[in-house]
């Protein structure tokens, strides 16, 4: 069965689908369109989120702030509100129209990204980044829930991996466009240019995205009773697999985001690459290496988990173990091309966890908990990975600068990259319970 076949060739009909459903039919072609549109939105989402990374140096110089302040701006200022807003927004998505949640969010984050270009000081820029984070919190929980209602469990890791490739493409375009526009026209115009396309995409969401029946693919009746947030949290956190899934995802992301956010600055400071050169190099590595690795991790997990569900956590663990030595080579290789080659290969393995992790969360959740389950997993991944890792790197940079100068960033990234080992430990612990926890859903 191909990933674009949502339910053994039969159509998914959304009549009587409960609150928020439309009267449209989601056929195999409709499922492909839905996934394509959600991927496009995730591309835009990540362009708007990630462009700040390649512009760290010019913004820092223009606003006159420290690495610690920039780490706060790129990480915690965004992630704290992204994660805390994510759960109540996901609850809205589980109770009502997922399409409307996404529509509102696209407008908010696009407008706030454009406003970053007119911020006059650090406080204003941080405040607008908070708005970007709140807007972007609407997309993935609702998107994961939609995808899980048109792609069956045995194809879900691949489908969610394809969705997450949109993030890799967005990172690539954010680096490349941000680097070129920032160097040519200044960092302010870069934000204005990338913020506007989202407003056009919002129109597509409102006019073409439909609501499939919740839980149909597992044969679960879409009951209209709604669990309280406390009940959802208790249900999900009561599963040993989910607890360790959140911890493993958080530490895989802690290592990955440290390099994603500060990798461009590392190349500029240590290898003396220009803004445009750095944007192109990081963009291609994140886009192609990260995109291929995300798809490969999801495909491998789906392929092998048919016989043993433990592969859903074993594949991410293998990726983490393969990525760590390559990240070390990237940091200490004396010549830029060799360093970039190591980083490209490391990127492939370091994102193996993405598709399988989100697929497990959807498999463990009840149909009207799926957006909230995704938000809970993303809370861990984003708060610890996206929120804390960039700040830790910035603090370490400032602390080690007196001893190592510009090369302090080598050691800061080495320390954060080591978190991969802790992530692997939690993946292996999750392997002990995953078959038992998924069994009631899959039977």
Residue 399 has pLDDT above 60, yes or no: yes
Non-local CB neighbours of 216 within 8 Å, separated by 6+ positions: 7, 12, 149, 222
Separation between Cα atoms, residue 419 and residue 257, nearest integer Å: 11
Pairing label, strands 12-13, 25-26:
antiparallel
Assess contact for 141 and 264: CB atoms under 8 A: no
For residue 24, what pLDDT is reported?
Answer: 44
For residue 4, what pLDDT is reported?
Answer: 42
Residue 11 has pLDDT above 70, yes or no: no
pTM of this structure: 0.76
Residue 5 has pLDDT above 50, yes or no: no
Q: Which two tokens stand for residue 111?
A: 């407008």
Distance of CA 391 to the CA centre of its chain: 18
48: nearest Cα among 99, 13, 82: 82
pLDDT over 90 for what percent of the chain?
A: 44
For residue 397, what pLDDT is reported?
Answer: 92
Residue 37 exposure: Cα atoms within 13 Å on the Cβ side: 25
Assess contact for 262 and 318: CB atoms under 8 A: no
Q: What is the mean pLDDT of residues 359-388?
A: 88
Q: Which two tokens stand for residue 307?
A: 């016989």
Give the pLDDT band (50/70/90) at residue 65: confident
Q: How far is CA 11 from CA 147, 151, 155, 281, in A?
A: 15, 11, 16, 43
**Ordered domains of the chain (ranges, CATH):** 23-214+227-442 (1.20.1250.20)
For residue 270, what pLDDT is reported?
Answer: 92
Residue 299 has pLDDT above 90, yes or no: yes
Give the pLDDT band (50/70/90) at residue 71: confident
Separation between Cα atoms, residue 22 and residue 212, nearest integer Å: 8
Give the pLDDT band (50/70/90) at residue 168: confident
Q: Which two tokens stand for residue 264?
A: 């461009």
Give the pLDDT band (50/70/90) at residue 383: confident
Give the pLDDT band (50/70/90) at residue 147: very high
Sole residue written with tokens 């991996």:
161
Q: What is the mean pLDDT of residues 363-392?
A: 87
Residue 19 has pLDDT above 60, yes or no: no
Give the pLDDT band (50/70/90) at residue 255: very high
Give the pLDDT band (50/70/90) at residue 440: low
For residue 442, what pLDDT is reported?
Answer: 43
Give the pLDDT band (50/70/90) at residue 13: very low
394: nearest Cα among 278, 269, 267, 258: 258
Assess contact for 343 and 273: CB atoms under 8 A: no
Q: What is the mean pLDDT of residues 366-387?
A: 87
Please name the helix (run of DSSP H) or strand (run of DSSP E) that holds residue 189, with its range, or none. Answer: helix 187-195
For residue 218, what pLDDT is reported?
Answer: 62
Residue 26 has pLDDT above 80, yes or no: no
**191-228 tens-digit pLDDT:** 888 888 888 899 999 999 988 877 776 666 555 456 78
Separation between Cα atoms, residue 402 and residue 380, nearest integer Å: 33
Average pLDDT, the chain: 86
Separation between Cα atoms, residue 11 and residue 14, nearest integer Å: 10
For residue 276, what pLDDT is reported?
Answer: 83
For residue 326, what pLDDT is reported?
Answer: 97
129: nearest Cα among 140, 117, 141: 117
């Amino acid at each position: 069965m191909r990933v674009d076949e949502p339910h053994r060739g039969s159509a998914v009909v959304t009549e009587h689908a409960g609150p928020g459903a439309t009267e449209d039919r989601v056929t195999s072609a409709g499922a492909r369109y839905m996934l394509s549109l959600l991927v496009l939105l995730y591309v835009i989402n990540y362009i708007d989120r990630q462009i700040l990374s390649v512009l760290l140096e010019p913004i820092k110089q223009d606003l006159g702030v420290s690495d610690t302040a920039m780490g706060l701006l790129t990480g915690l200022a965004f992630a704290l509100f992204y994660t805390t807003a994510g759960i109540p927004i996901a609850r809205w998505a589980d109770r009502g129209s997922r399409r409307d949640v996404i529509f509102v969010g696209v407008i908010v984050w696009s407008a706030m990204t454009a406003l970053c270009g007119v911020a006059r000081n650090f406080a204003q820029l941080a405040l607008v980044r908070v708005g970007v984070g709140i807007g972007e919190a609407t997309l993935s929980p609702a998107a994961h829930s939609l995808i899980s209602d048109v792609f069956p469990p045995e194809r879900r890791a691949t489908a969610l991996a394809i969705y997450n490739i949109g993030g890799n493409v967005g990172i690539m375009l954010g680096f490349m466009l941000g680097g070129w526009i920032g160097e040519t026209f200044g960092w302010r115009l870069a934000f204005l240019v990338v913020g506007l396309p989202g407003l056009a995409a919002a129109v597509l969401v409102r006019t073409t995205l439909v609501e499939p029946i919740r839980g149909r693919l597992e044969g679960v009746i879409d009951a209209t009773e709604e669990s309280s947030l406390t009940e959802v949290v208790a249900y999900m956190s009561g599963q040993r697999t989910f607890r360790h899934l959140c911890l493993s995802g958080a530490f895989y992301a802690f290592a990955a985001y440290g390099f994603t956010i500060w990798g461009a600055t590392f190349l500029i400071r240590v290898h003396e690459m220009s803004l445009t050169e750095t944007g192109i190099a990081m963009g291609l590595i994140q886009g192609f290496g990260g995109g291929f690795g995300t798809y490969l991790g999801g495909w491998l997990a789906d392929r092998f988990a048919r016989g043993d569900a433990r592969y859903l956590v074993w594949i991410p663990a293998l990726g983490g173990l393969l990525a760590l030595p390559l990240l070390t080579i990237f940091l200490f290789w004396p010549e830029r091309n060799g360093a970039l080659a190591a980083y490209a290969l490391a990127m492939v393995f370091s994102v193996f966890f993405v598709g399988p992790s989100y697929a497990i969360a959807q498999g463990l959740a009840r149909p009207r908990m799926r957006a909230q389950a995704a938000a809970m997993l993303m809370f861990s991944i984003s708060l610890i990975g996206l929120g804390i890792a960039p700040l830790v790197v910035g603090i370490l940079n400032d602390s080690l600068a007196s001893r190592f100068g510009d090369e302090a960033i080598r050691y800061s990234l080495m320390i954060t990259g080591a978190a991969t080992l802790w992530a692997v430990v939690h993946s292996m612990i999750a392997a002990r319970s995953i078959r038992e926890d998924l069994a009631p859903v899959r039977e």
